[in-house]
Amino acid sequence: MSIRITGMNSGLDTDSMVKELVNAYEKQGEKYTKAKTKTEWKQEAWSTLNSKIKNFYSKYASNMRFSSAYTKKATTVSDSSKATVITSSGAVNGTQSLKINSLAKAGYLTGGELSTDADGNKVTKSTTLGDLGFTGSATIKIGNDDPKTFEVDSETTMEEFAKFASAAGYNASFDEGTGRFFISSKSSGKEADFNITSDTFDGNRALAKLGLQSEDYYSELGNMRGNNLVAIAKQAAEDRGVEYSEDILNEFRAYRDEALAASNVEDNSIFAHKIDGEDAEIELNGVKFTSGTNTFSINGLTITAKDTTSDTLSLVTDTDYDDIYDNIKNFFNEYNSLMNEMDKLYNAASSKGYEPLTSDEKDAMTDDEIEKWETKIKDSLLRNDSELDTIASAMRRAMLSTFDIDGKTYSLSSFGINTLGYFEAADNEKNAYHIDGNSDDSSTSGNEDKLRAMIAS
């Protein structure tokens, strides 16, 4: 049989004992929680540093491995308002002549004004061809070599025709404010140009009602007489699949008279105006080149024509020493920034006595106090870290390498690129490199510019 002794009978304070045991477990739990938080912060610090190292490699170090980084070229244009040039490394150094004969244009059609329909109502997107006085049906084509077709009749609306032209691959809209169609090709050049036509008289009549016929159309139709008009009427009857009759001839006489009246209107607002798509043309060294755009890629030069010229421009291509120099300078700027940060992390002040705060401890502090406390810990997470030292040492050794070329030994110092003396360099900047003659570096700007001279030679 078991014997139980109560705290009162034994003289033991069991409540205190239990509390101490619970406190011990809580303290142990806090210890593990703080260690976990610290580990997570350290992982975040490494993740941030790894991203910077990867960015430095992919954006700077990797590209600097290739000869293309040291063969940059540039072309100067005698009048940059007329043309600009992008130069590839394969371009030939020297002076060339350029003349810009024409710029590329996109085809653009502005329709004639459709102010009111046959009943005097304002023309809108929902106005039909029937409202404009067109009867029957016809086929209309838009395009050039392989035009798209569209069947219209008296029920076809302005909006439906605009949608057809858009579906055919053009910019098209009917503007109710001006009562006009606006249709254009989506790119410049002859190949992208378009025309809106019909093979039948009724189709051309529908285009006239849509405001898409030129002044020449009205003039030509208005001048038709006798046999010409009869031939047109007979062809129209055949297209419609009906017998030719005097009524059809009279109908076309009426069309003719209407066209004649239109062609005599002093205000040309009823006629469509078309700007044809054109190719750009330049002459490079006396040889003509054409393009559907204003950009030409010729023998390593990408020439963008901006305006026509009456005189010849000169293009001077040479090695872009400044660009090569800037690439090297940018590389060292990024290297120094990364190396200085790693030195700062490795040499950080100790945060001994600082541990991540518990919820209760945070409740007793202000937000500013909490931030300063945690920053103190985070800044020291990679202090004296062996992995960080391994990475930084590898980078320092790489920069100290020498190379034998044609019997000569080269190092960074051969190009006037060195670290400062131990007592000259600021804290955590003792492994940073400085370029002699660099105007942006107060420490070495007064030294001889070996790097630029070496690039040029």
The pLDDT of residue 414: 95
When pLDDT is cut at 50, 70 and 90, the band that residue 302 belongs to is: very high
Residue pLDDT, tens place only, 91-111? 999 999 999 999 999 999 999
Q: Which of 139, 338, 440 is nearest to 449 (CA)?
A: 440
Write down the pLDDT at residue 226: 56
pLDDT digits 0-9 by tens, 194-237 = 999 998 888 888 998 999 988 887 777 666 655 577 777 787 77
Percentage of the residues of the chain whose pLDDT score is greater than 90: 66
Strands (E) across 161-319 are located at 170-175, 180-185, 195-197, 273-275, 280-284, 287-291, 295-298, 301-305, 313-319
* pTM exceeds 0.75: no
Residue 3 has pLDDT above 50, yes or no: no
**Among 175-184, 216-225, 233-242, 384-393, which stretch is predicted with the lowest mean pLDDT?**
216-225
Question: Exposure pattern of 22-48 as b/e (b: 16+ CB <10 Å)?
Answer: eeeeeeeeeeeeeeebbeeeeeebeee
pLDDT digits (tens, 9 = 90+) for 113-169: 998 888 889 999 999 999 998 888 999 999 988 899 999 999 999 999 999 999 999
At 426-447, the pLDDT tens digits run 999 999 999 999 999 999 999 9
Residues 251-262: what's their mean pLDDT?
68
What pLDDT does residue 235 have? 77
Model confidence band, residue 276 (pLDDT cutoffs 50, 70, 90): very high
Q: How confident is the model at residue 324 (pLDDT cuts 50, 70, 90)?
A: very high
The pLDDT of residue 238 is 79
Average pLDDT over residues 346-374: 90
DSSP letter at 359 equals: H
How large is the average pLDDT for residues 365-369? 93
Contact assessment for residue 325 and residue 452, using Cβ atoms and an 8 Å cutoff: yes
Taking residues 231-245, report their average pLDDT.
78
Distance CA 101, CA 294 (A): 11
Reported in sequence order, the residue ranges of 214-330 that DSSP labels E, i.e. its strands, are: 273-275, 280-284, 287-291, 295-298, 301-305, 313-319
Q: Tell me, what's the pLDDT at 190?
A: 94
pLDDT in tens, 46-81: 999 999 999 999 999 998 888 888 888 999 999 999
Over residues 175-191, mean pLDDT: 96
Long-range contacts made by residues 177-180, C-beta under 8 angstroms, separation at least 24? 178/113, 179/113, 179/114, 179/115, 179/122, 179/123, 179/211, 180/110, 180/111, 180/112, 180/113, 180/114, 180/211
Does residue 1 carry a pLDDT above 50? no
User: The tokens of 360 are what?
Assistant: 């209760």
CB 315 within 8 A of CB 73: no
Q: Is the pLDDT of residue 337 over 70?
A: yes
How far out from the chain centre does Cα 28 lie? 57
